[in-house]
Amino acid sequence: MAETELERAEKRYAQAKARLQALKNREATRQRKLDTRRKVILGGALMDLAERDTSAAAMLDRLIRNLSREQDRKAFAEWDTPSHSPSPDTGQSDAT
């Protein structure tokens, strides 16, 4: 039985629709990966800053204490919030 023009058009439409959905899925995956990468980078930057800045350390501690999900808080159970250690060069000179 030969396909009618309508059947061929419906088949092409279904294939195009499937290609469009695949493209949307790939873009959503790309966006999720980019979002995760940004979060990891910002988290690392905050942790690094917290080692050098008491207000950043306090903010990091507050963020951890206020995590809403128990499983997220458990990830930090054995982790100590960085304590502020002054840098060797505090900008003060011993020379008078």
Quick one: tokens of 43? 């988290």
Q: How far apart are CA 90 and CA 86, in angstroms?
A: 7
Quick one: tokens of 81? 């919030």
Q: How far apart are CA 73 and CA 19, in angstroms?
A: 41
pLDDT of residue 91: 45
**CB distance 54 to 86 below 8 Å:** no
82: which residues sit within 8 A by CB, 6+ positions away?
47, 50, 51, 57, 60
User: Does residue 87 sit in helix, strand or coil?
Assistant: coil
Domain boundaries, the chain: 5-66
pLDDT of residue 47: 92
Q: What does the pLDDT profile of the chain (96 residues) look like in tens digits? A: 678 999 999 999 999 999 999 999 999 999 999 999 999 999 999 999 999 999 999 999 999 999 999 999 999 888 877 665 555 444 444 444
Q: E strand or H helix at 77, and its extent?
A: none
